Amino acid sequence: MIAKDSAGAVSRKLAVEGVSVSYQAVHKWLNGGGITDEMLEALARAYRVSPAWLKYGEGRKREPLQEVFEALPDDNRQQVLDFIRYQVTMSTPLAAREQTARYLAMIDKIRTDMDGKKKGRK
């Protein structure tokens, strides 16, 4: 988790999410320094935890839907991701294309994370 990662590792994980942040800024956060709400949200997304849990250590670590998803067998998760991708693609009006791209990128990130975990178990 975050506490076990070095500032450089956290910075690289945020970069994968498309967020550029310096090693020094991450080091400051990890040692109790201030973090903007925007960066807190990005950090929570990168580590797949809720912002409230990350900031205060209170409430749910993960959202209930995420807990349900992670409890599914790997094959079912793939099917769920495929279904969500299809629904997002087919039901999004042209005006929301930018948001659709973000949703599809999140789906791809989840799939990549799942594939990495599968390879790590083999």
Q: Contact at 8 Å (CB) between 75 and 59?
A: no
Task: With cut-offs at 50, 70 and 90, classify the pLDDT of residue 121.
Answer: low
Range from 43-47, 58-62, 106-110 carrying the lowest mean pLDDT: 58-62
Residue 6 above 80 pLDDT?
yes
pTM for this one? 0.50
What integer pLDDT is reported at residue 15 of this predicted model? 87
Burial (0-12, 13-18, 19+ Cβ within 10 Å), 78: middle
What does the longest C-alpha to C-alpha distance in the chain come to? 45
Q: What is the DSSP string of 53-95?
A: HHHHS-S-SS-HHHHHHHHS-HHHHHHHHHHHHHHHHHH--GG
